[in-house]
């Protein structure tokens, strides 16, 4: 398998999984969306995590990855990471 085929497969799976997760999230009430689950997180927090990790990977692919940025983001809440960069 070529690296291109492998990466396309990963991209397609990620697109499928994200779409499925977002469709499920759309059906939740506001309370359900923010409710803490047994693992301590919420659907809202998971979506923020998904967005921030995709941003970091996108920056890595563009050659913009910086360890200091990741370390700074790791110490902040999901909301802070998304809304303040």
- What is the reported pLDDT for 84? 47
The Cα–Cα gap between 3 and 69 comes to 28
- What is the reported pLDDT for 33? 93
Element (DSSP H or E) covering residue 52: helix 43-61
| pLDDT in single tens digits along all 85 residues of the chain | 899 999 899 989 999 999 999 999 999 999 999 999 888 889 998 898 888 888 888 888 888 766 665 555 556 655 555 544 4
- Among left, alpha and beta (phi > 0; psi -120 to 50; other), residue 63 is left
Based on the structure, what is the number of domains in the chain? 1
* Residue 16: CA count within 13 A, CB half-sphere: 6
- What is the reported pLDDT for 58? 82
Domain that holds residue 66: 3-84
- What is the reported pLDDT for 40? 82
């Amino acid at each position: 398998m070529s690296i291109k085929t492998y990466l396309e497969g990963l991209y397609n799976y990620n697109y499928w999984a994200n779409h499925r997760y977002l469709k499920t999230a759309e059906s939740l009430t506001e309370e359900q969306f923010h409710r803490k689950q047994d693992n301590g997180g919420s659907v809202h927090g998971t979506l923020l995590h998904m967005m921030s990790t995709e941003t970091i990977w996108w920056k890595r692919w563009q050659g913009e990855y910086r360890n200091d940025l990741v370390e700074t983001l790791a110490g902040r809440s999901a909301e802070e990471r998304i809304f303040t960069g």
